[in-house]
Amino acid sequence: AIVTTCGATECEECADGLVASADRTECVEVEDDDCEETTYTISFTVNFNGEEPMNDAELQSAIEEWAQANLDADATVTVEQRHVTIVASLCGELDDDLHD
């Protein structure tokens, strides 16, 4: 965690997505207790368009890495014959920019 230096009344800014902890000594992730987690299942088939195709294991590894970084740390990815299924629990709505 980023330790904030606090004066009598204010702390240094925390990075995006972080807030000062209750005792104002560090920056912590925002715990959104009101968050209603929704489990999404996203399925698609990968078309390599003439590029060097990856095998299912490589594909799974690459997509899992992306999904865990961008969607949900516990996202699971399965790949069967280039058909990908991602299961992720997200707060709120699924971002539209995932469909690009």
Domain assignments of the chain as residue spans, ordered by start: 1-31, 37-99
Helices (H), ranges, 1-100: 56-70
pLDDT band at 57 (very low <50, low <70, confident <90, very high): very high
**Residue 13: what residue type?**
E
Report the top-level CATH class of 37-99. Answer: alpha beta
As a whole number, mean pLDDT of residues 24-38 equals 69
pLDDT band at 93 (very low <50, low <70, confident <90, very high): low
Cα 8 from Cα 30, distance rounded (Å): 23
Higher-confidence position of 29 and 44: 44
Q: Does position 33 have pLDDT exceeding 80, yes or no? A: no
Q: Which structure tokens are listed for 41?
A: 């299942």
Higher-confidence position of 58 and 5: 58
Cα 69 from Cα 80, distance rounded (Å): 22
pLDDT band at 100 (very low <50, low <70, confident <90, very high): very low
Q: What are phi and psi of 27, to 5 degrees?
A: -95, 135
Q: Does position 55 have pLDDT exceeding 50, yes or no? A: yes
pTM of the model: 0.54
